[in-house]
């Protein structure tokens, strides 16, 4: 009798435990995806530029470059194609910031930041509508006009131009570089695939965009635990590029007086010229 009583008590306790475990509330918080929580939003400020007095600004040279995001070194700017949490591609960040009004876009007809344009005006120039004639699949098989609008897709932008100033600061005895502007470009092709040239979309004043870039994460190829922002990416010059123009009396691009391998050699010559300028400032 006593044994039956003990068995009954144990069964009752097990029943209460089972009911209690099923009654636990279900939370909507997902489990931590990793060893530590990496989902915190970046809240950094851009590194302040050192102050340069006009009297110490004794030499400068303006250079225009092209960054091809298809190159291996530049691919962190192109991906991800689809935004993932706070991780977005460079062009997605720029388009979103223009849409929000955080940064200003300027017409691409000049790189002097003269004519600002709104997001709506920008999309009107990029997302152009084409009218095509199509035939109905049922009698009387008449033709009709249909309008097809090609939507803006950031993955279509694979190159960007940057305008920068190299200068020598006499006070600190340093040759420095400051990025002034950024311009996304889209390559144009004929129907047969022949390259027609580059189509600039808009210009962005880089110092204005730095606070946005300082809060935007870019993939760190060397250490996933060390978060890096796009502002760090440009500050440390972790990109590969080639020069397509340098300030000159004729105001012409390199491809206007050199083509093919000669244009590449001219670009490398200008890079070497900038390097030698700094080295020749000192005597050992």
Alpha-carbon distances of 218 from 203, 223, 224, rounded to whole Å: 21, 12, 10
Percent of the chain with pLDDT over 70: 84
Which of 38-42, 51-55, 83-87, 206-210 shows the lowest per-residue confidence on average (mean pLDDT)? 38-42
On whether residue 23 sits in a domain, the answer given is no
Q: Which residue has the higher pLDDT, 11 or 41?
A: 11
- Structural domain includes residue 159: yes
What pLDDT, on a 0 to 100 scale, did the predictor assign at position 26?
55
Can you tell me the mean pLDDT for 197-223?
Answer: 92
Q: Quick one: tokens of 199?
A: 């189509």
Report whether 153 contacts 56 (CB < 8 A): no
Structure tokens at 125: 């120039």
- Whether 201 is covered by a domain: the verdict is yes
Residue 71 lies in a domain: yes
What is the Cα–Cα distance from 34 to 37, expressed in whole angstroms? Answer: 7
- Length of the chain, in residues: 284
Share of residues in the chain with pLDDT > 90 (%) = 54
Question: How does pLDDT run across 153-192, given as a tens digit for each residue?
Answer: 889 899 999 999 999 999 988 899 999 999 999 988 777 7
Round to the nearest angstrom and report the end-to-end CA distance of the chain.
Answer: 104
Average the pLDDT over each of 72-76, 90-94, 223-227, 229-233 and give the range with the smallest value. Answer: 223-227
The predicted pLDDT at position 279 comes to 83
* Per-residue tokens: 274: 């900038």
> What integer pLDDT is reported at residue 189 of this predicted model?
77
Can you give the pLDDT at residue 8?
64
> Model confidence at 207, in pLDDT bands (50, 70, 90)?
very high
Q: How far apart are CA 8 and CA 161, in angstroms?
A: 80
pLDDT attached to residue 23? 46
Instruction: Confirm whether 82 is domain-assigned.
Output: yes
Is pLDDT larger for residue 61 or for residue 194? Answer: 61
Segment 211-224 mean pLDDT: 90
The answer to whether residue 2 sits within a structural domain is no
Mean pLDDT lowest for which of 18-32, 53-67, 73-87, 96-110? 18-32
Q: Where are the beta strands (DSSP E) in 136-260?
A: 143-149, 159-169, 174-189, 195-200, 202-205, 217-218, 228-229, 242-246
What pLDDT, on the 0 to 100 scale, is given for residue 84?
83
Chain position carrying tokens 């306790």 = 13
Most confident range, picked from 1-5, 42-46, 153-157, 278-282? 153-157
Q: Is residue 284 scored above 60 in pLDDT? A: no
For 58-75, write each residue's pLDDT tens digit: 999 999 999 999 999 999
pLDDT band at 210 (very low <50, low <70, confident <90, very high): very high
For 95-122, what is each residue's pLDDT tens digit? 999 999 999 999 999 999 999 999 999 9
Which residue did the predictor score with more confidence, 32 or 121?
A: 121
- Tokens read off for 258: 């050199």
Q: How far apart, in whole angstroms, are the C-alpha atoms of residue 45 and residue 169?
A: 24
Buried/exposed code over 34-63 (b: 16+ C-beta within 10 A; e: otherwise) = eeeeeeeeeeeebeeeeebeeeeeeeebeb
21 within a domain of the structure (yes/no) = no
Total domain count, the chain:
1
Question: Is 131 a domain residue?
Answer: yes
Q: What pLDDT is attached to residue 35?
A: 76
Which range marks the domain in which residue 180 is found?
A: 54-279
């Amino acid at each position: 009798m006593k044994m039956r009583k003990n068995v009954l008590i144990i069964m009752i306790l097990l029943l209460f435990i089972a009911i209690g475990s099923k009654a636990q509330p279900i939370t909507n918080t997902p489990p931590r995806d990793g060893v530590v929580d990496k989902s915190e939003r970046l809240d950094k400020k851009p590194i302040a530029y050192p102050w340069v007095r006009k009297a110490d600004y004794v030499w400068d040279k303006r250079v225009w470059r092209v960054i091809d995001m298809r190159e291996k070194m530049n691919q962190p700017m192109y991906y991800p194609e689809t935004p993932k949490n706070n991780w977005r591609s460079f062009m997605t960040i720029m388009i979103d910031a223009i849409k929000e009004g955080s940064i200003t876009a300027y017409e691409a007809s000049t790189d002097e930041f003269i004519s600002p344009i709104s997001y709506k005006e920008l999309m009107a120039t990029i997302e152009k509508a084409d009218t095509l004639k199509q035939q109905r699949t049922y009698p009387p098989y008449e033709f009709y006009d249909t309008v097809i609008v090609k939507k803006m897709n950031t993955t279509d932008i694979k190159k960007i131009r940057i305008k920068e100033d190299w200068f020598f600061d006499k006070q600190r005895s340093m040759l420095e570089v400051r990025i002034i502007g950024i311009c996304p470009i889209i390559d144009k092709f004929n129907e047969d695939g022949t390259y027609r040239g580059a189509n600039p979309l808009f210009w962005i004043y880089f110092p204005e965009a730095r606070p946005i870039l300082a809060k935007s994460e870019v993939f760190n190829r060397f250490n996933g635990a060390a978060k890096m922002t796009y502002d760090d990416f440009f500050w440390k010059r972790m990109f590969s590029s080639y020069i397509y123009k340098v300030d000159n009396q004729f105001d012409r691009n390199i491809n206007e007086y050199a083509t093919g391998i000669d244009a590449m050699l001219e670009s490398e010559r200008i890079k070497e010229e900038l390097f030698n300028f700094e080295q020749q400032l000192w005597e050992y």
